C-alpha cells in the first residue's frame, strides 16, 4: 500500500489553539526533508503581558509562521499582539481545519493546526483593514438593533392577538404616530370612547373612529398592559438607537470611503443600507480576492458541487459571509424586478424556467461580479457592459 506524504514547506512553525483565558502553542521544528519534527508545547494566559511573553518564547525558538483559528473574538487580541513580532501570521477558518475525530484535546488541536500549516494546507482568512473593521462593527451592530426591534414588534403583535384587538386590520402601520397613541390608551388604562380615539388619529387614516373603537374592543389584562408598555418602550428605544447609528455610519463612510459609496449606489438595487454593508464586509477595494469567482465563493453565492458515482446530487449555493450574502440577495431581488435590462432579463429568464428565489440568487451573484469590477476599476455602473454582448444583440433585434 502506497502512503502519500505531503511536502513540508516550513521548517519552524507554531499552531495555536485559542480560548478565552488561555492559548495552547505547539511548535514544530525540523528540516524540510523530514515528517517527524521536534514538538514543543506551552500554555500561556491571554492578558496582554502574558501574550507578549508568548511572543518572546516563539521568537526565541525562531518561529517564522504562526497559525491559529478565528475562534469568535478571542483571536483578535492574540493576532494584534503577535503581529508586533517578525513572524508571518495566518488566520484559518475553523470549518477548513477540523481535527480528526477522536483526537480532541487542546494540545492535539494546536499540533493539528501546526501540522496543516507546515505542509501548506491552511489558507489565510480575509482580515479587513482597521478602518473597514470599524465600519463593520457599526453595520453589524445596526443589524443587531434591527433584530431586537423586530422581536419587540412581534411580542407586541402577540399581545394584541391574544387580547382580540384588531387594530392591524385598520392601520397600515401600528407603530406609526396614530398606532402608538392608540396603544398608549391601553397602557394607561383609559376608558375608550369615540372622543379619545378621535384625538389619537393623525395623518390620513382611512378608517373611521367608530371602526377603530370597535377594533379595540378586546379583553386585555393588567399583565398584558404592562407587557405592552415594555414592548412599545423597547421598540422606541431601538428605533432611536438605529437612527443614531445610521447617522454615524453615514458620516463615517463619507469621511473614509465617499467615492466607493457613490459608485456602489450607481448599481441597480444597491441603496445606502446595502452599500454600507458591502463596504463593511468587502472594503473599498478587492485586493484580498484574486478573482470575482473567489469573492463570490467567499460571499456564499457560488453554486455548490456535490457529485457521487457520476451523478450530480446538489448545486445549492455555498456557505459564506451571511451579512454580505443577505445584502446582495436583497439588492439582487430589487435589481431583478427593476427596469434595468441586464438584471430584468436575467431575473425573468431564470424565474420562468425555475423558481423566483433562484432568479434572485442569480441576480445577487451577477451583482457581486459587477461590484468586483466597479471597486477594481473605480468606475460607475455601465448598463451596456452589464447587459453583455449577446443580450445587446438580442435587444437590437
Residue-wise pLDDT tens digits, 291-309:
999 999 899 987 654 444 4
N-term to C-term CA, the chain: 63
Residue 18 has which C-alpha cell?
485559542
CA–CA separation, 55 vs 75, rounded Å?
14
Cα 94 to chain centroid, rounded: 17
Residue 333 has which C-alpha cell?
431581488
**3-class DSSP state for residue 129?**
coil
Cα 248 to chain centroid, rounded: 19
Classify burial at 4, counting beta carbons within 10 Å of its beta carbon; exposed 0-12, middle 13-18, buried 19 or more. Answer: exposed
Cα-based angle 275, 279, 280 (whole degrees, multiple of 5): 115
Question: What is the reported pLDDT for 124?
Answer: 83
Classify burial at 391, counting beta carbons within 10 Å of its beta carbon; exposed 0-12, middle 13-18, buried 19 or more. Answer: middle
Question: What is the reported pLDDT for 391?
Answer: 57
User: Using the 8-state DSSP alphabet, how is residue 165 labeled?
Assistant: -
Question: What is the reported pLDDT for 251?
Answer: 98
Question: What is the reported pLDDT for 324?
Answer: 96
Question: What is the reported pLDDT for 135?
Answer: 97
CA–CA separation, 12 vs 29, rounded Å?
4
CA–CA separation, 150 vs 109, rounded Å?
40
Global confidence as pTM: 0.84
User: Using the 8-state DSSP alphabet, how is residue 315 labeled?
Assistant: -
Contacts (Cβ under 8 Å, ≥6 apart) of 371 = 264, 267, 270, 278, 282
Beta bridge partners of 317: 303
User: Using the 8-state DSSP alphabet, how is residue 337 labeled?
Assistant: T
CA–CA separation, 260 vs 67, rounded Å?
33
Residue 161, Cβ neighbours under 10 Å: how many?
12
Half-sphere exposure of 182 (CA within 13 A, CB side): 28
CA–CA separation, 395 vs 194, rounded Å?
60
Cα 26 to chain centroid, rounded: 32
Question: What is the reported pLDDT for 311?
Answer: 52
Residue 101, Cβ neighbours under 10 Å: how many?
6
CA–CA separation, 104 vs 39, rounded Å?
18
Whether the Cβ atoms of residue 280 and residue 138 lie closer than 8 Å to each other: yes
Run of H or E including 160:
helix 130-162
Show the low-confidence residues of the chain (pLDDT under 50): 1-4, 305-309, 314, 389, 393, 396-397
CA–CA separation, 90 vs 75, rounded Å?
11
Amino acid at each position: 500500500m502506497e502512503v502519500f506524504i505531503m511536502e513540508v514547506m516550513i521548517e519552524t512553525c507554531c499552531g495555536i489553539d485559542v480560548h478565552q483565558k488561555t492559548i495552547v502553542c505547539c511548535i514544530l521544528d525540523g528540516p524540510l526533508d523530514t515528517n517527524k519534527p521536534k514538538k514543543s508545547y506551552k500554555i500561556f494566559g491571554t492578558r496582554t503581558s502574558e501574550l507578549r511573553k508568548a511572543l518572546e518564547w516563539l521568537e526565541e525558538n525562531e518561529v517564522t509562521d504562526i497559525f491559529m483559528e478565528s475562534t469568535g473574538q478571542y483571536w483578535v487580541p492574540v493576532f494584534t499582539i503577535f503581529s508586533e513580532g517578525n513572524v508571518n501570521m495566518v488566520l484559518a477558518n475553523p470549518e477548513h481545519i477540523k481535527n480528526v475525530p477522536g483526537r480532541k484535546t487542546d494540545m492535539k488541536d494546536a499540533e493539528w493546526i501546526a501540522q496543516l500549516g507546515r505542509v501548506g494546507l491552511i489558507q489565510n482568512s480575509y482580515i479587513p483593514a482597521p478602518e473597514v473593521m470599524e465600519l463593520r462593527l457599526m453595520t453589524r451592530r445596526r443589524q443587531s438593533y434591527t433584530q431586537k426591534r423586530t422581536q419587540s414588534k412581534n411580542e407586541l403583535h402577540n399581545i394584541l392577538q391574544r387580547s382580540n384587538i384588531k387594530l392591524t386590520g385598520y392601520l397600515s402601520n401600528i407603530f406609526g404616530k396614530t398606532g402608538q397613541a392608540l396603544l398608549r390608551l391601553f397602557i394607561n388604562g383609559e376608558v375608550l370612547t369615540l372622543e379619545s380615539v378621535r384625538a389619537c388619529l393623525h395623518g390620513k387614516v382611512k378608517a373611521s373612529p367608530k371602526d377603530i373603537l370597535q377594533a379595540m374592543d378586546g379583553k386585555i389584562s393588567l399583565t398584558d398592559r404592562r407587557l405592552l408598555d415594555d414592548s412599545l418602550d423597547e421598540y422606541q428605544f431601538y428605533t432611536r438607537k438605529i437612527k443614531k447609528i445610521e447617522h454615524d455610519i453615514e458620516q463615517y463612510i463619507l469621511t473614509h470611503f465617499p467615492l466607493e459609496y457613490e459608485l456602489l449606489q450607481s448599481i441597480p438595487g444597491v441603496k445606502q443600507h446595502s452599500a454600507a454593508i458591502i463596504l463593511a464586509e468587502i472594503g473599498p477595494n478587492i485586493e484580498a480576492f484574486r478573482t470575482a469567482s473567489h469573492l463570490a465563493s467567499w460571499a456564499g453565492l457560488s453554486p455548490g458541487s456535490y457529485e457521487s458515482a457520476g451523478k450530480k446530487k446538489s448545486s445549492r449555493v455555498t456557505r459564506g459571509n451571511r451579512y454580505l450574502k443577505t445584502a446582495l440577495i436583497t439588492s439582487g431581488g430589487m435589481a431583478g424586478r427593476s427596469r434595468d435590462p441586464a438584471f430584468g432579463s436575467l431575473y425573468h429568464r431564470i424565474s420562468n424556467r425555475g423558481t423566483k428565489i433562484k432568479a434572485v440568487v442569480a441576480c445577487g451573484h451577477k451583482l457581486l461580479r459587477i461590484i468586483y469590477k466597479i471597486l477594481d476599476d473605480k468606475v460607475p455602473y455601465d448598463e451596456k457592459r452589464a447587459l453583455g454582448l449577446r443580450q445587446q444583440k438580442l435587444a437590437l433585434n
